[in-house]
Structure 1
Amino acid sequence: MLVNKVRELRARFNLTQGELANRVGVTRQTIVALEKGSYTPSLLLAMNIAEEFEMPIEEIFSKEEK
């Protein structure tokens, strides 16, 4: 399972879900699902999010250890 720090980073950067969605080219509902862990992003979306936060993908997304 993929886990992420999107909610934490979005709060740190003072962005709403809608603002982040607009910046990375998806709907607000996609960001909601991503933050809940019910949506696995495409590589392109993960790259766009990493670019938005100016961080490597690996610092935002990781595999959950079983």
Structure 2
Amino acid sequence: MAKVKISNIIRELRFANGQMTQAALATKAGVTRQTILALEARRYSPSLELAFKIARVFDEPLETVFQFPED
């Protein structure tokens, strides 16, 4: 299985926002805590819709929260 190339700073943003729990972020984004865990561990790439929802929770641009390396 290919490694997920999309990286993110979700964990850092959670801690910068009052040490938000994975469960709290999951509720705000409309997903399960396990989804947030998988995203943070880079085992899962979010859908575009989910990526936007998470970025909006933190009031950050999509490109700040998620990064995709140029080849």
Q: TM-score, normalization: structure 1?
A: 0.94
Q: Which runs of 5+ in 1 are unaligned?
A: none
Question: What is the root-mean-square deviation in Å for CA atoms of aligned residues?
Answer: 1.1
Residue aligning to 1:2: 6
Match of 1:45 in 2: 50
Q: Which runs of 4+ in 1 moved over 4 A?
A: none
Verify: 1:22 aligned to 2:34, yes or no. no
Q: Secondary structure at the match of 1:54?
A: coil
| Number of matched pairs | 66
Shift of 1:52: 0.5
Give the C-alpha shift of residue 63 in structure 1: 1.3
Q: Which has the larger radius of gyration?
A: 2
Task: Kindly state the Cα deviation for residue 64 of structure 1 after the two structures are TM-superposed.
Answer: 3.4
Q: TM-score, normalised by structure 2?
A: 0.88
Counting aligned pairs with the same residue, the percent is 48
